[in-house]
Homo-oligomer: A and B are copies of this chain.
């Protein structure tokens, strides 16, 4: 015998969250019931709204409930001639946290993975090509992850950009700042030697 049907259902539903197993779900349910009822209700409302209303920015494909995301809608940045291509919306935040990039983004929401049925269409590359065709873009910075799929995606997009005679670059890969050579894997080290810059 478990708990009452509604409590059981709450525990079960919480497991749709990533990283939440049976024990965590139980702990979450009881904590909410014991002393977080108001924030719990607030979460329920926000969740329902977000699941129904959040779509994609029609310019950069990131998640937004409006037509354009705050970055694309901003006067300063929305017309920038530089586009940074990233895999996920979280990557946008990571780049923004640095504060060194002031152009626009294009969010692929994934990477090329033919075996999983993810092709150029799923990544919205036709939309990216429309941007390239428009003539407003001077540079494309490819910031996909340095994985096999991320690299393949970067190469595919680089080919596309070169067809439109647009300058295209890939972010540098090498030893991270604060890292120690001793603990860096050999592939990264090889990349950092190949990508050495004169000082």
Binds B, one of A88-96, A134-142, A156-164, A177-185: A88-96
Question: How far does the alpha carbon of A150 sit from the alpha carbon of B29 in the complex, in Å?
Answer: 23
| A88 vs chain B, min Cβ distance (A) | 7
Q: Give chain A's interface residue range (CB within 8 Å of chain B).
A: 35 or more
Which residue in chain B gives the minimum CB-CB distance to A36?
A: B16
Instruction: Report if A41 contacts B (CB, 8 A).
Output: yes
Complex contacts, A41 vs chain B, CB 8 Å: 47-48, 51-52
Question: How far does the alpha carbon of A48 sit from the alpha carbon of B14 in the complex, in Å?
Answer: 12
Question: How far does the alpha carbon of A26 sit from the alpha carbon of B51 in the complex, in Å?
Answer: 15
Complex contacts, A187 vs chain B, CB 8 Å: none
Instruction: Report if A129 contacts B (CB, 8 A).
Output: no
| A30 vs chain B, min Cβ distance (A) | 6
**Structural contact, A51 and B70, CB atoms closer than 8 A:** no
**Structural contact, B13 and A19, CB atoms closer than 8 A:** no
Instruction: Report if A6 contacts B (CB, 8 A).
Output: yes
Which residue in chain B gives the minimum CB-CB distance to A41?
A: B51
- Assuming the contacts A19-B24, A48-B45, asked whether A63 and B30 have C-beta atoms less than 8 A apart, the reply is yes
A-B contact pairs, 15 of them (CB 8 A): A1-B71, A1-B74, A1-B96, A4-B66, A6-B53, A6-B54, A7-B50, A10-B54, A17-B17, A18-B28, A19-B28, A32-B50, A32-B51, A40-B47, A41-B48
